[in-house]
Structure 1
Amino acid sequence: MSKVELPLPVARPTRRQTPPATDLDAFETALRRRVHGEVRFDDGTRAAYSTDASNFRQVPVGVVVPRHPDAAAEAVAVACEFDVPVLSRGGGTSLAGQATNTALVIDWSKYCHRLESVDAAAGICVVQPGIVLDELNRQLADTGLRFGPEPATHMNCTLGGMIGNNSCGATAQRTGKVVDNIARLEVLLYDGTRFWCGSTTDTDHTTIEDGGGRRAEVYRQLRALRDTYSEQIRDRFPDIPRRVSGYNLDSLLDEHRFDVAGLLVGSESTLVTVLRAELKLVPVLPERTLVVLGYPDVAAAADAVPAVLAHEPVALEGIDAKLIRDQQIKHLNTEALAELPEGRAFLMVQFAAHTRDEVERKGRALLDGLHDDPHQPDVAFLDDPAHEQQLWQVREAGLGATAHVPGKPDTFEGWEDSAVPPARLGTYLRRLTALYEKFGYASDTGPSLYGHFGQGCVHTRIPFDLYTADGVATYRRFMLEAADLVVELGGSLSGEHGDGQSRGELLPKMFGTDLVCAFGQLKAIFDPGNRMNPGKVIAPDGLDEHLRLGGDWAPATGQDLYFRYPHDGGSFAQAANRCVGVGRCRQHHNNGGQVMCPSYQVTGEEEHSTRGRARLLFEMLDGHADGPIHDGWRSPAVKDALDLCLACKGCKTDCPANVDMATYKAEFLAHHYARRPWRRPRSHLALGWLPLISQLVGRARLARVVNTLTHTPGLARAATRVAGVADREIPRFAPQTLQRWFTARPRPTNPGARGTVLLWPDTFTNHFHPHIGLAAVRVLEDAGWRVELPTRPLCCGLTWISTGQLATAKKVLRRTVAALAPHLRAGGLVVGLEPSCAAVFRSDAPELFPEHQDVRRLASQTHTLAELLADHSPGYRPPDLSRSGRTTTTTLAQVHCHQHAVLGFDPDQRLLAEAGVQVEPLESGCCGLAGNFGFEPGHERISEDCAERALLPRLRQADPSTTTVLADGFSCRTQIHQLDHTGHQPVHLAELLATGLT
């Protein structure tokens, strides 16, 4: 090896501490003065950014949210002056710990998300780092081009993060890794040096050299580094499709034209800060088809990969039966799972082309070739785009589906993305399974195996015991042996997610000491002071350091909880720890009708995402000595983060880990105001005690008086001020309650051939919209049911739950359950018209009283109107609403969040289809009112902005004379009534069905 002068780092430099507190104060002041953006050093923000999607946790010094790339560059300049480390962060979904550090975190995702230019003829575009992949491809749609690599987190991962990790995804089978799709990068060194880089010709290099300065020095040292190690790079870098581990020194080789941009891709913010990227785009192939092959086990499926690859699919994914079982347990993608062929493991083979004939020809060619396949798979050939998308969601749901599976131990990253040559994949999976058995991780409920089998990349989450010292030691031993195995087979420690801290210290096993020394020299070329994301990749902290859990994790325990958390062993700590950081709550559009997280969609703030709030709650439990939050349930930082949670419960279903932030918020508020009720906002009393207030108004027959007071100018404003609620229209009380009408009505002659059903008189239907109850009685009796209503004033406790007055809520629920017990014990059904109240019976009540038999009966015997008619009324046919005058041209449905999360809308769609109504569920997410949320002071703007994201614009497009708006939720109807000025009058399902009765 020739001798050349290169900067040589020490093997493991001592981590320099950040400046003392006084210097940090000056640092923050300088950032605020010089950076155009948001500068945050508060405890809540630092807690929200303390971890990513990995096993690791490091509390940042502070966070900067720059408004443009130049502002980010200025933030780095200030950090350099104060000698503070820097970490760039995109979507925060990194799985190897590279997006967490004791550093100044630069979050690009809120503002720096512009598509700056597109040259469709050249097939390139320039983007800022914070743009989300799906949003980029949405903006590129008219060009017929897209950015090729597409990780499973495509709906929320940013291009900056993808560049930092050298992301891949299933589409990499066709388009390659990010490194294969980058034309140029604009980069910034820690010392302020800034330049565009890409492939470099000899002429380019001469020009750079002639320019002198720091850039010329960098290029000279890079060329010397390349010349010194080129032979070892060619020898030790595995020649496989999915080598993501290590720095891309191979990009400096002649065959890659000394591509400095390629070198920096995958460097995980340890070398430079990426300010802009020029991307190579690929043509969209509009026609697709999917062939699914079933095999007896996952290793057999892997053995078949080389033969399938000969047919050149654009994606070739593998999944095993354990992943399918995990999704079945969690009720994920149920329709798609039914489309799978016979087998215990499956290859999903996707073909794409410009024409339908071409793509079908490729699929048939594969099927013809399978006749000679010794593995003899079972086959499912799908050419329905909807079914293809559903099955693709089975694969993309892998991470969420394998985390926190009921009846199984928790699983963790660490060895979740290793890669080997595709021809050796079957051998690798057999030996990896044997390794699971050796370390006690294998069982019938053990780790699932899935991934990008066409490129030899395997995903898995393993039930490491990261709670005890012995468990952590075993995890470490497993990682060492697993690394030896993958290196023996010519593979890569990481095939997609990067090295970070999970695999940084294992790199010598894969590359040898000389190349790891070269990596260190590369680090010293760009970052001689080790200030860029220190402790990752090079001179890394150990894979068992800075653990988010670990043997010394000691969260606060022994709380007297209101909810019992039956799915988390009765532990609030385990509930708060549910979040695995996948970031689905950070979506910018309500893809697939998902609800979460409405406040994040409006504010773009990490602490307003489900993930951010979960992080604060985790830190609130104070399980680490360096935690930023030490005041527990009294924490103002946690209260502020939860304040804009709409308690929509969308995360309960949409979050892959089933985080239930609405429940956590209620629990927190109950403890936050415990023994100091005077600190509660007046709105909690006015809105939380609304059922009792309504009962008093109804009993005294004061509806008209109250309506006059609350709807007279001047008096109305005074009323809202006294109540402490927002200055918006207060709903009108009905002159007669549903219960009063029902008691006075003549008893029906219909004996109820189907039996007796109890119609639940929730506060909103009973006191504000009793006409919906009247319509429901008509529909139920027409369907052959005998209807009863409780005669006593009862309540589900919803408003007390949502305002965190849980002691009162439990008293109210106990009283209600006792009153309903005789009906429930006789097997009687309960019909809820208000989705949020029905959801209390189905979800909240069992979690407050998980062992109460009558509560269990209430949960299982409570149904929506649609469920009762569609699923519990055999032979029932709804009225035909398609007849002239019975329905409008268009029926739009604003599905209540709690119905989406707990109850489901499928029975409604089936019932309406039988009635001749084709309904369009609005992909609007939460309407924004969300019960008490929109009536609380300070929430008005967020409430309206939520409605403006999709609901109100869609209503403005629809002609009220030809459109029916279906909205079962009182909040949804109220929000539409108050904010939609186009004349739509939303109706309940009961009202719509009743229009068809004679």
Structure 2
Amino acid sequence: MEGEVRFDAGSRGAYSTDASNYRQIPLGVVVPRSIEAGASAIEVCHRYGAPVLSRGGGTSLAGQGTNAAVVIDWTKYCHHLLAVDPGARTCVVEPGMVLDDLNAELAAHGLEFGPRPSTHSHCALGGMIGNNSCGATAQRTGKTVDNVRRLEVLTYDGLRCWVGPTGDDEMARIIGEGGRRGQLYRDLRGIRDRYGDDVRHRFPDIPRRVSGYNIDALLPEAGFDVAKLVVGSEGTLATVLRAELDLVPVVEHTAMLVLGFPDIADAADAVPGVLEGVAPVRLEALDDRLVEFMRAKHLHLESIDALPAGRGWLIAQYGGESPDEALEAAYTTLRRLGRNDDDEHVRLTSAPVEQEQLLKARESGLGATARAPGISDTWPGWEDSAVPPDRLGDYLRDLRRLFAEFDLDRPSLYGHFGQACLHVRIPFRLDEATGVAAYRDFLERAADLVASYGGSLSGEHGDGQARGELLVRMFGSRIVQAFGEVKAAFDPDNRMNPGKVVAPFALDGDLRLGADWRPGSHRTQFGFPEDDHSFSRAALRCVGVGQCRRPDPRGGVMCPSYQVTREEEHSTRGRARLLFEMLEGHEDSPVRDGWRSTEVRDALDLCLACKGCKSDCPVGVDMATYKAEFLYQHYRGRVRPMAHYALGWLPALAKAAKVAPGMVNALLNAPGIAALGKRLAGVAPQRDAPAFAGETFQQWWTRERAHRQPGPGEANAAVLWPDTFVNHFAPHIGKAAVRVLESAGFRVAVPAGPVCCGLTWISTGQLPVAKKVLRHTLDVLRPWIEAGTLVVGLEPSCTAVFRSDAAELLPQNQDVHRLSKRFVTLAEALLHHAPEEWHPSPLRRDAIAQKHCHHHAIMGFSTDTTVLHRAGVDVEVLDSGCCGLAGNFGFERGHYDVSMACAERTLLPAVREAAPETLILADGFSCRTQIEQGNTGRVPLHLAEVLQDAVPGERPEPTRFPGERAGRTVTAAAGLVAASLLWRRLRP
């Protein structure tokens, strides 16, 4: 077939689970390059009797996205918008298309696909159809089933056709023609006739009934709509090849009303009153527990600070053709409730940014409640039940009593309250036998509870394996029998995602953990303090939300390699899954070699160690740290790749080069030798390496300023950190920083001897060396640390080491913790620590800025934008993600194409298109190098260089030395140094 066929251990491990509690190892993975190729793959599976699982974004919470089957991943290639009819408000899409991508293409027509689950940035339309997804906007537009017009489906035995509503005459024609399609329609008509009255009686009449098959779509009054029957069937009936969707106009103007209540159940009681009169386009809710978790995780702090008084909140959004119309709709509701906007329990806003922030806070619920501080790990299983809206408050109170009966620490309650759909993650103990037994008992009791309210087991996420067994408690045995007959009509051999919904696997079977999960213990170099000092706990941190699979970073960084390759193994989630399999906790794991695993090594090879996941992942997965630990363990006692020696030991090479930088630079450009050097050093042949400055920053400091250096503890002292990159390659940046800091009243000091953060050794997994380097640095800085002196970093990656990595490598070292609190960026020093208020001269310049990944992940970039605005620089922070160079990554052989593809997504085109007078800002040495080597013709500047022009008074021209900017080649010298280091390591 035309596509990628993978039955290797790494691929199988990466697809072993979704976002649920369940884990099943697939037979293999197929990534079709076209719809026809996908159909061919299913034909092959049918020929050999292999089960099939069609998968979208893999974020299912009920276990329908994992199976011992051939997994077909449609998202890499089959993600196109095929047709749009603005007049009819319809479009045709392929199943792998991401929802946000679809709506971005439809924006020109003023249309959108209505349902918008919280995973809208990375969920696929095929998965939404499979799960009958909803989201907050379903308050206005309904569930996915309400927005599907027709589907092109393929059954396991080869029937391929478009299905949709079917009139009596058309049905008679189809059945009369006979064949496989005629038989299918005859069987479905018989099911309708036999069970129609049961369906009318037993299907709950509520907005959010997602559980079970949509047999009600076959009723005469529903138009015998086979497409709507297939929606929500979770891939158990047929594979969706293409979908014709109904579209709705984009709501142009909105206003948001936030109401505070004493408790979330009280908020639920108020829902019917809010729904009367003007209908909101969204009606969401969150409780104080969720706010507590978000605050502890530093998620959306501005948003939760904007909430009115209360311990439970309703968030109602209203739409209109004008801002005034939307605002008036909100005021109408407020007046009907007897409140006004002066009430401390009320917040009313029409500002789009504030509304988006509040909605993001609500959408972060799953991430905020997973790995919530102060309670045991939380899990899905009963995460999306739904009841009639007028009974929601009482249901919440009864559910809380059930939590208390099972001694489950008070979980957060939030969700789509306008349609009475509740979200909750519960601290089940799924790693022990008694906890698993309690899990089953609780779900059975909860199913009986929601059925007693006339509700649905699932109001959004489907049944899968978590609730398939429980359907009889909701629908009764006769309707469940009808579900079985529908399954048999489509898939008589039970090969389409078997064990889900119909004839389900046990709800307490195939657990990702389970009582038999026994991961090995691991002595590590990092302390993993946020994971109980356990690498096993760290590897469990990923819950499968899948934000790392966003095709576009949209304000974040993670995950640059996935954005380029669209490979599950190159997402943070895929790598986390492989690390979990590597722990040897399950006997059936496809990854059998532990730390020596080549599958894990290969998956981590394209990890840029950008640390974007540490901030952008809602549960804080830190793949850069995991990669460093893995590389240490994997290569311990073994020969490493040559790039680890040549690039990992860059600070040592730079120290040696400062003796004769001119000679070294001349050698670097020697014809023939350079190519050999790059080969020996494991460096990409396409790369030019930075050349060494004629005089280091520390040498300049000793010659020009050392006599003015303050001592530890002296007033207004600040240590300027001479990182390897500024010191040896760009000393003009250090000089500019000195001038800027002095203008703000600091007395600058610079360490005299060699110091280093150890970053290059950390990123290549040479952790014992990194620890040794860090200890030496702490010895040098000890007098300044003891005095509490501020230390100012210019290179973001080095600053991030002292703010994050160092404390994890040396968790018992108190000096590390003291230093982390006093190590700041230049912008932070000026804005928060300057001895006197800094008054720059207004520059009146425009700029675009590439924020360094570590800066974004650890320190945050908002302080820099504030400082720039104060200096009169109108800066646009590029939504470009990682620059792609990422320290040593972009220089290593085999990474060049991915590195440049990352840069060409947004960064390099934006730099090329910038006006000549627009400043290009990039604090990171890697970012500046990528821009310089990216055929842009532009010279990027560090923040210190820009601010130097804003310092009042005459600006001295910094001394520039030959080769201070990017050089031309990585040389034989690098290869010789690498060979020398290797010999020193291996000699007796």
TM range (shorter): over 0.9
CA–CA separation in structure 2 for the residues paired with 1:236 and 1:712: 82
Give the superposition deviation at 1:724.
1.9
Maintained 8 Å contact 1:252/1:263: yes
Q: CA, structure 1 residues 372+806, in 2 after alignment: closer, same or farther (shift >3 Å)?
A: closer
Aligned with residue 743 of structure 2, among 782, 787, 791: 782
Matched residue SS, 2:209: coil
Aligned with residue 579 of structure 1, among 513, 518, 542: 542
Deviations 1:395-452 (A, max 9, x none): 000000111123321100000000000000000000111111010113xxx3100000
Which residue of structure 2 lines up, in the alignment, with residue 435 of structure 1? 402
Matched residue SS, 1:192: coil
Give the superposition deviation at 1:622.
1.2
Question: Superposition pairs for residues 542-553 of structure 1, below 5 Å?
Answer: 542-553=506-517
Question: Superposition pairs for residues 142-541 of structure 1, below 5 Å?
Answer: 142-310=108-276, 311-371=278-338, 378-442=345-409, 446-541=410-505
CA–CA separation in structure 2 for the residues paired with 1:301 and 1:83: 52
Maintained 8 Å contact 1:173/1:314: yes
Letter in 2 for 1:80: H
Give the superposition deviation at 1:868.
0.8
Question: Superposition pairs for residues 909-924 of structure 1, below 5 Å?
Answer: 909-924=865-880
Which residue of structure 2 lines up, in the alignment, with residue 896 of structure 1? 852
Aligned: 1:694 with 2:654: yes
Maintained 8 Å contact 2:709/2:748: no
Aligned with residue 783 of structure 2, among 802, 814, 822: 822
Which residue of structure 2 lines up, in the alignment, with residue 643 of structure 1? 605
CA–CA separation in structure 2 for the residues paired with 1:413 and 1:61: 25
CA–CA separation in structure 2 for the residues paired with 1:505 and 1:736: 73
Aligned: 1:977 with 2:932: yes
- TM-score norm. by structure 2 comes to 0.95
Aligned: 1:556 with 2:525: no
Give the superposition deviation at 1:504.
0.4
Letter in 1 for 2:9: D
Maintained 8 Å contact 1:754/1:873: no
Aligned with residue 684 of structure 2, among 714, 726, 737: 726
Give the superposition deviation at 1:754.
5.0
Aligned with residue 939 of structure 1, among 892, 895, 904: 895
Q: Aligned residue pairs: how many?
A: 946
Question: Superposition pairs for residues 564-603 of structure 1, below 5 Å?
Answer: 564-591=527-554, 593-603=555-565
Question: Superposition pairs for residues 753-768 of structure 1, below 5 Å?
Answer: 755-768=716-729
Letter in 2 for 1:265: V
Deviations 1:362-420 (A, max 9, x none): 111111112179xx982100111111111111100000011112332110000000000
Give the superposition deviation at 1:716.
2.3
Letter in 1 for 2:535: F
Which residue of structure 2 lines up, in the alignment, with residue 956 of structure 1? 912
Letter in 2 for 1:945: A
Which residue of structure 1 lines up, in the alignment, with residue 832 of structure 2? 871
CA–CA separation in structure 1 for the residues paired with 2:447 and 2:355: 35
Question: Superposition pairs for residues 733-812 of structure 1, below 5 Å?
Answer: 733-746=692-705, 755-812=716-773
Maintained 8 Å contact 1:128/1:275: yes
Maintained 8 Å contact 2:15/2:66: yes
Letter in 2 for 1:507: L
CA–CA separation in structure 2 for the residues paired with 1:765 and 1:82: 62
Maintained 8 Å contact 1:801/1:809: yes
Give the superposition deviation at 1:197.
0.3
Give the superposition deviation at 1:83.
0.5
CA–CA separation in structure 2 for the residues paired with 1:354 and 1:470: 56
Letter in 2 for 1:948: E
Give the superposition deviation at 1:875.
4.1
Give the superposition deviation at 1:519.
0.5
Matched residue SS, 1:65: strand
Deviations 1:797-854 (A, max 9, x none): 0000000101111111111112212210111111110000010001000111122110
Matched residue SS, 2:338: helix
Which residue of structure 2 lines up, in the alignment, with residue 628 of structure 1? 590
CA–CA separation in structure 1 for the residues paired with 2:581 and 2:630: 13
Which residue of structure 2 lines up, in the alignment, with residue 11 of structure 1? none
Maintained 8 Å contact 2:260/2:312: yes
CA RMSD of the aligned region, Å? 1.3
Letter in 2 for 1:667: E
Matched residue SS, 2:16: coil
CA–CA separation in structure 2 for the residues paired with 1:646 and 1:590: 15
Maintained 8 Å contact 1:319/1:450: yes
Letter in 2 for 1:794: V
Which residue of structure 2 lines up, in the alignment, with residue 837 of structure 1? 798
Give the superposition deviation at 1:750.
9.5
CA–CA separation in structure 1 for the residues paired with 2:835 and 2:784: 21
Matched residue SS, 1:371: coil
Which residue of structure 2 lines up, in the alignment, with residue 24 of structure 1? none
Maintained 8 Å contact 1:754/1:784: no
Matched residue SS, 2:306: coil
Question: Superposition pairs for residues 10-49 of structure 1, below 5 Å?
Answer: 35-49=1-15
Unaligned runs of 5+ in 2: 954-988
Which residue of structure 2 lines up, in the alignment, with residue 905 of structure 1? 861
Give the superposition deviation at 1:748.
6.8
Give the superposition deviation at 1:874.
5.3
Unaligned runs of 5+ in 1: 1-34
Which residue of structure 2 lines up, in the alignment, with residue 989 of structure 1? 943
Matched residue SS, 1:979: coil
Aligned with residue 115 of structure 1, among 81, 105, 129: 81
Maintained 8 Å contact 1:53/1:93: yes
Give the superposition deviation at 1:746.
4.2
Maintained 8 Å contact 1:132/1:158: yes
Task: Spell out structure 1 runs of 4+ moving beyond 4 A.
Answer: 746-754
Aligned with residue 20 of structure 2, among 54, 64, 76: 54
Deviations 1:931-963 (A, max 9, x none): 000000000000000000000111121122x11
Letter in 2 for 1:864: T
CA–CA separation in structure 1 for the residues paired with 2:102 and 2:814: 52
Maintained 8 Å contact 2:745/2:836: no
Deviations 1:723-770 (A, max 9, x none): 221121010100001111111114576979952111111100110001
Give the superposition deviation at 1:722.
2.5
Letter in 2 for 1:352: G
Identity score, percent: 60
Maintained 8 Å contact 1:878/1:993: no
Letter in 2 for 1:865: L
CA–CA separation in structure 2 for the residues paired with 1:496 and 1:429: 17
CA–CA separation in structure 1 for the residues paired with 2:219 and 2:426: 37
CA–CA separation in structure 2 for the residues paired with 1:833 and 1:414: 47
Q: CA, structure 1 residues 860+749, in 2 after alignment: closer, same or farther (shift >3 Å)?
A: closer
CA–CA separation in structure 2 for the residues paired with 1:765 and 1:711: 22
Deviations 1:93-119 (A, max 9, x none): 000000000000000000000101111
Letter in 2 for 1:710: L
Letter in 2 for 1:577: L
Which residue of structure 1 lines up, in the alignment, with residue 970 of structure 2? none
Question: Superposition pairs for residues 57-72 of structure 1, below 5 Å?
Answer: 57-72=23-38
CA–CA separation in structure 2 for the residues paired with 1:355 and 1:745: 63
